[in-house]
Amino acid sequence: MFTPRRGLVVVGPALALAIFFGGFVRTSSGQVNPEAFRRKIDGAQVELYTLKNKNGLEATITNYGGIVVSLSVPDKNGKLGDVVLGYDTLNDYIGNTPYFGSLIGRYGNRIAKGRFTISGVDYQLAQNNAENSLHGGRKGFDKVVWQAEKLDTPEGPALKLTYTSKDGEENYPGTLGCEVIYTLTNNNELKIQYAAETDKPTFVNLTHHSYFNLKDAGASDILGHELMIKSDKFTPVDKDLIPTGELRPVAGTPFDFSKPTAIGARVESDDEQMKFGRGYDHNWVFNRQGKELELVASLYEPTTGRFMEVLTTEPGMQFYCGNFLDGTNKGKGGTAYQHRTGLCLETQHFPDSPNQPDFPTTELQPGEKYTQTTVYRFSTK
């Protein structure tokens, strides 16, 4: 009885001071406490970094997994609110996360049976998703500590993260030097620039795994969000979510998002592909030429007026509508994330490309530089 009371007396002023000096970052679900992220893992320091642009938008990012912990953007009344799912503490992220907000590598999405061949050599990856390898294996880039450096750029505050993945890490060939720069631009964008180089031929497909909910950061479902994807085709999958290799027209199917459409409108459709995905969990092929940064998708939440545009240099995007969320993940402010309370728009190359000769290649050779840029741009309407 006595100890907790003393605890309260000690913690009370500390909390007040932290809030007074801006030590805590406010999100719609409370505050993110940087102390809850400060820890050494394998000798490397983990911290929570705050980026704030000149319009007051704020992102908190930890160098553990490059995770975007919170992202506060205004609604149509100018009220800031968090729009991503996640946890209040580093321990929660280490314990159990369906990749909330993290960087994904070396390979975003699935590689069939965890196998590929490169330069005549067969490689076997960890089969961490049924028979397949998902999101880089057992300890992907979402679970490693990145080196972090805060930058002040003309575009806005930024966080540069670097990580060297050793030759053979998670059984991938080649030492892969990676750099990711998150910039919270003064145009209200979260811009993510990726770069990587290898010393042996390898496969690379990096992406970002924020679960967005523009209404309330996961307190309610995302079914009323209106999604638009500039795409005429998607890559159908088998029951284990491995692409069949076909590029199938979306016209006349629940996969047609060429005009903004509520996610809930067709999510329970009888389409076999929707059954395989347990909802949307597929890769869309953008209508695009070349590799310039281009607008490829948008997301609108009518009650808050929040509007998010997605621009990328990538050829595809995995749209996953949180089908596997079931209330067991208790996130920020104690929110239990129920079915379909967050959605991911993972711009990337197509799943299983190492085994699909007709998909755009994800092979990286020594001397080449892998780059990808994705922008999530926020406004209201």
Query: What are the residue numbers of the active site?
Result: 209, 346
Task: Please identify, among the stretches 85-93, 266-274, 316-324, 334-342, the one whose residues bind ligand BGC according to the rule CB under 6 A.
Answer: 316-324
SS3 21: coil
Any contact of residue 274 with ligand BGC (CB under 6 A)? Answer: no
Q: Which of 153, 159, 207, 124 is nearest to 47 (CA)?
A: 159
Nearest to ligand BGC of 191, 282 (CB atom): 282
Residue 166 CA to residue 202 CA, distance in Å, equals 12
Q: Identify the residue among 28, 29, 63, 109 touching ligand BGC (CB under 6 A).
A: 109
Q: Identify the residue among 346, 373, 374, 376 touching ligand BGC (CB under 6 A).
A: 346
Nearest to ligand BGC of 102, 183 (CB atom): 102
Residue 213 CA to residue 184 CA, distance in Å, equals 18
Q: How far apart are the first and last CA of the chain?
A: 52
Residue 302 CA to residue 215 CA, distance in Å, equals 8
DSSP state, residue 44: E
Residue 58 CA to residue 3 CA, distance in Å, equals 36
Binding mask 143-182 for ligand BGC (x = CB under 6 A): ----------------------------------------
Nearest to ligand BGC of 109, 312 (CB atom): 109
Which helix (H) or strand (E) covers residue 310, if one does? strand 306-312
Q: Identify the residue among 318, 348, 356, 372 touching ligand BGC (CB under 6 A).
A: 318
Q: Which of 360, 377, 357 is nearest to 116 (CA)?
A: 357
Residue 318 CB, shortest distance to ligand BGC, in Å, is: 5
Nearest to ligand BGC of 98, 140 (CB atom): 98
Any contact of residue 324 with ligand BGC (CB under 6 A)? Answer: yes
Any contact of residue 378 with ligand BGC (CB under 6 A)? Answer: no
Residue 68 CA to residue 83 CA, distance in Å, equals 11
In the complex, the residues that contact ligand BGC under the rule CB under 6 A are 98-99, 109, 241, 281, 318, 320, 324, 344, 346
